């Protein structure tokens, strides 16, 4: 799994993720579910080739077929431009600023985690919630990534061992098995 965050940033990220979606008796929290790996993998997507943006298909191997999700699609030049803009930001490059500057996810996370503070991990629950609430845009971004990391395909780094899917009784990707007609009409 590619890594982009510093050790200190990673420590704060883990605490912030767990505060956003804590583990409970109903299911794994963000950290046990692998969300920090999902986020770090996205931020560092371009440290590997092909970049970890889109897992291949058509099957993961979990319901039969080949484990094709384990490799990733190469990006076209336009795809690469879009995803570098989204992750790295426009960085003053004219080819990325055709409609003005773009702040990338790397900068948003670097700034957002710094604002939470190096003491974030030591704060109590209320203190952590207050810090997160101080930057609602960053908290929303983090929450959305927690949802994707917990309940997306494990090949993106989160949903470790499919535990989050099991906790909510979701079968995940089911190709090539699918569901029989009887399982659809009379489950």
Partner 1 sequence: MTVDAVIVGSGPGGSAAADVLTAAGWSVVIVEKGRNHLLDPDDPTRPSTDYSNDEIKFLSRYFLGPDPLVEPRTFRTGEDDGDRVHVGEVNSVPTTVGGGGTHADGKVPRFMPGDFRMLSELGPLPGAEVADWPLTYDELEPYYAEVERAIGVAGLAGANPFAGPRSSPFPMPPGAPMFGALQSTAAAERLGYHPYPAPTAANSVPYDGRPACNNCGFCAYFGCPIHAKGDPVALLTRAMATGRAELLSETFVPRIRFEGRRATGVDLLAADGTERFLAARNVIVAAGAIETPRLLLLSEVDHPLVGRYLMVHFQTIVAGGMPFRTWSERGRSVTHVHDDMIVGDEASRQAARDAGLPWIRGGLVEHAGAAMPIMEAKHYPRGTVHNRLMADSPIRKKLWAFTMQGEDLAYPTNRVDLDPGFRDARGYPVARVTYRPGPHELAAHEHFGPRLAAILDEMGAEWTTVTSSPGRGNAGFTPESVPESRHNMGTVRMGTDPDTSVTDPWGRLHAYDNVVVADSSVFVTSTGYGPTLTLAALSARAARHLV
Give the interface with partner 1 as residue ranges (CB under 8 A).
20-24, 26-29, 53-60, 68-69, 73, 76-79, 81-83, 85-86, 95, 98-99, 102, 129, 139, 143-144, 146-148, 150-153, 156, 165, 167-181, 183-187
What is the nearest approach in angstroms of partner 1 to the Cβ of residue 165?
Answer: 7
Distance, in Å, from the CA atom of 34 to the CA atom of 84, rounded to the nearest integer, reads 24
What is the nearest approach in angstroms of partner 1 to the Cβ of residue 150?
Answer: 7
Question: In the chain, where does DSSP find H-type helix?
Answer: 7-20, 35-43, 77-88, 105-116, 125-133, 136-151, 163-167, 181-185
Prior bond of 176 cis (ω within 30°): yes
Bin 169: left if φ > 0, else alpha if -120 < ψ < 50, else beta. Answer: left
Taking the least distance from each CB to partner 1, the nearer of 59 and 106 is 59
What is the nearest approach in angstroms of partner 1 to the Cβ of residue 159?
Answer: 10
What is the nearest approach in angstroms of partner 1 to the Cβ of residue 7?
Answer: 25
């Amino acid at each position: 799994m590619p890594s982009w965050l510093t050790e200190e940033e990673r420590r704060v990220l883990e605490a912030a993720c767990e505060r956003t979606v804590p583990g409970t008796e109903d299911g794994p929290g963000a950290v046990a579910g692998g969300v920090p790996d999902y986020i770090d993998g996205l931020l560092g997507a371009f440290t590997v080739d092909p970049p970890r943006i889109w897992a291949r298909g058509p099957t993961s191997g979990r319901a039969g077929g080949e484990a094709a999700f384990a490799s990733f699609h190469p990006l076209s030049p336009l795809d690469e431009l879009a995803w570098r803009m989204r992750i790295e930001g426009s960085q003053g490059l004219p080819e990325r600023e055709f409609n003005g500057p773009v702040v990338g996810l790397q900068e948003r996370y670097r700034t957002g985690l710094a604002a939470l503070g190096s003491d974030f991990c030591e704060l109590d629950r209320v203190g952590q919630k207050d810090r997160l609430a101080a930057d609602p845009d960053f908290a929303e971004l983090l929450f959305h990534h927690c949802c994707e990391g917990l309940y997306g395909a494990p090949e993106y780094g989160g949903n470790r061992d499919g535990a989050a899917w099991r906790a909510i009784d979701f079968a995940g990707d089911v190709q090539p098995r699918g569901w029989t007609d009887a399982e659809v009409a009379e489950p």
